[in-house]
Amino acid sequence: MSAPRVVIVGSGLAALAAAFTASRGGAEVTLVSGGVGASALYAGAVDDVPWDELERSAEISGAALEARPLPAELSAFAEALDLWRVAEDGAPPPRLVTTAGITRSAQAHDRALLDLGTCRGRTVLVPRAERAGWDADSLVRCLRGAVSPADEVDLAAIGAPVLRFDEERDIVDVDLAARHDDDARLAWLASTLAAEIERWGRASVALLLGPWLGASRYRADALSARLGVPVGEALSATSGTAGARFERARDALLDKLGARVVAGWVTRVEGGAAKPRVVLRAGEPLACDVVVLATGGLIGGGVRYAPPEYGAPAEGAKAVRPPLTLSPEVAGAHLSFGGDHGPASSTQGPVLDERAWPRGPEDGALERCGVWVDERGHLAKKVLAAGDVVFGGRRTVLRAVASGLAAGRAAAALDRPESPAERAP
C-alpha cells in the first residue's frame, strides 16, 4: 500500500503539528507556506487555557496553581521541536516577566525567557539600555509591585552596557537578537556583565534582558553558563524574537520529518468526489489524497473580513454576500462570527469594531471567528481544518498544536489509497 499524500496549507504551529503526526502516521507530507503568519507573532509563552483565567480561578478558589501534564503526543511534539521548557507535572508553573511590567504564569515557554521560579532568593538585575520599549528603571518599579512575596525575588536596575554599537539603539529587537547568535558577540556581552555580577555576588543575583538573546537559537542558556547565574529575556508581545526562533525550529523539524516544503500562495482547494487538488497562485496544482487547512484565523489571514461594500463602486455593491471569506477558497465551507448565519441583511455586514472584542462572558470575533467543521475536523470531503481557522476554539498555543496533531493523525489514516490487490474484484 502506498503512502497517502497529505498537503498541509499553512506554516504555523498547527500546520507543523499536523505535519508531525501525518509523517509519523506514514504519510507523504507537503507543506505549502505562504509566508509569515500569526505563529511568528507569538511572544514565547505557551498556554492551553488563557493564563489570566487560570490565575483568576486560583485566586477565587484559594487553590495553588500547578502545572498539568501534557498529553503524550503533545509532549512528543514539544520534545521534537526542542524550543520550549515545559513545567513538570504538579510543580508551580513558570512565572514569566513581561516588558509591560507584569508577571504571568504559563504551562511552558520559550527557553530564552526568564522564569522567576529559578530566581528565588535572588535579586534580578535589569541592565539599562537606550532602546525604545526598554526602560529598566520603570520596569523595575512596575515589577516590584507585580511580584508577590511568594516569588521571593527583588529587582534592581544596573548600568552595565549591553549595546556595543551606536546603531543598536535603533534596530529592531529581532535584529539585535540575531547579533547574539554569534559566539563572539555573546562572549562580549558576558564580559561586560561579569564585573557587575561579581560586585553584587554571583550566588545572589539573576539577569533579565530584553528579547535580544538569539534569533535562530535561544542563547540564554549559553550566557547563563558563561556568567554562572540564571539569565533570561522578558516576554515581549511586539518583538518578534520568539517567533523568529520558532520559524528556525520549525524548519529544522520539517527537515527531520522529510516533509516537502513549497513556497507559494494557495488560492483554491478543489475536492468533491475526485482526489483533492491544491491550486496555487503560481505554479502547477498539487494533487493529493487529503488536505489539512491550517491557515490561521482573522489575524493570520486564513479568514478575511470582506463585506460586500468593500471595494464597491459609487453606486454600491452588486450583490449581498457573507462578510467573511475563507482563504483559500473551499467549496461548501461555512464561516461564522458566532450567532450569524448566511449573508448579512445589509451590504455593511456586522461591524467588526463592535464584534472583534469580548463583550461580557461572550468571546469576540478574534476568538470565535472561523470555519465550521464536523466532529472529525472536516470542513469538506477530504479537507480537514486545524488551528485558528476553526470556528469557536480558544486561541492558545497548545490548543492550536493539539488541533494540528489531531488533523495530521486523521489525514494520515483517511482514505488511504488502495493497492492493486485491494482494487481487484
Q: What is the DSSP letter of 66?
A: -
Please name the residues in contact with 394: beta carbons below 8 A apart, sequence gap of 6 or more: 49, 50, 367
d(CA 371, CA 391): 5
Q: What is the pLDDT of residue 341?
A: 43
d(CA 372, CA 240): 30
d(CA 310, CA 385): 27
d(CA 382, CA 132): 48
Pairwise pLDDT comparison (191 vs 377), residue with the higher score: 191
Q: Under a CB-based contact definition with an 8 Å cutoff, are residues 234 and 139 in contact?
A: yes
How many whole angstroms from its chain centre is CA 191? 33
Query: pLDDT tens, 142-166?
Result: 999 888 888 889 999 999 999 999 9
Q: Which of 203, 143, 410, 129 is nearest to 294 (CA)?
A: 410
**Quick one: what percent of the chain has pLDDT higher than 90?**
65
- pLDDT exceeds cutoff 70 at 75: yes
| Residue carrying the nine cell digits 495553588 | 64
Q: Which of 82, 396, 45, 42 is nearest to 239 (CA)?
A: 42
Name the average pLDDT for the chain: 88
Domains of the chain (ranges, CATH numbers): 5-40+245-420 (3.50.50.60), 58-239 (no CATH)
Q: What is the pLDDT of residue 148?
A: 83
**Quick one: what percent of the chain has pLDDT higher than 70?**
87
d(CA 219, CA 162): 15
Query: pLDDT tens, 190-225?
Result: 999 999 999 999 999 999 999 999 999 999 999 999
Query: pLDDT tens, 20-72?
Result: 999 999 999 999 998 888 888 899 999 998 898 899 998 899 888 888 899 99
Pairwise pLDDT comparison (341 vs 284), residue with the higher score: 284
Q: Under a CB-based contact definition with an 8 Å cutoff, are residues 113 and 235 in contact?
A: yes
d(CA 401, CA 250): 13
DSSP code string of 296-344: -STTTTSEEE--TTTT--TT--SS---SEEESSEETT--EESSS--SS-
DSSP code string of 258-284: T-EEEES-EEEEE-TTSPPEEEESSSP
Q: What is the pLDDT of residue 360?
A: 67
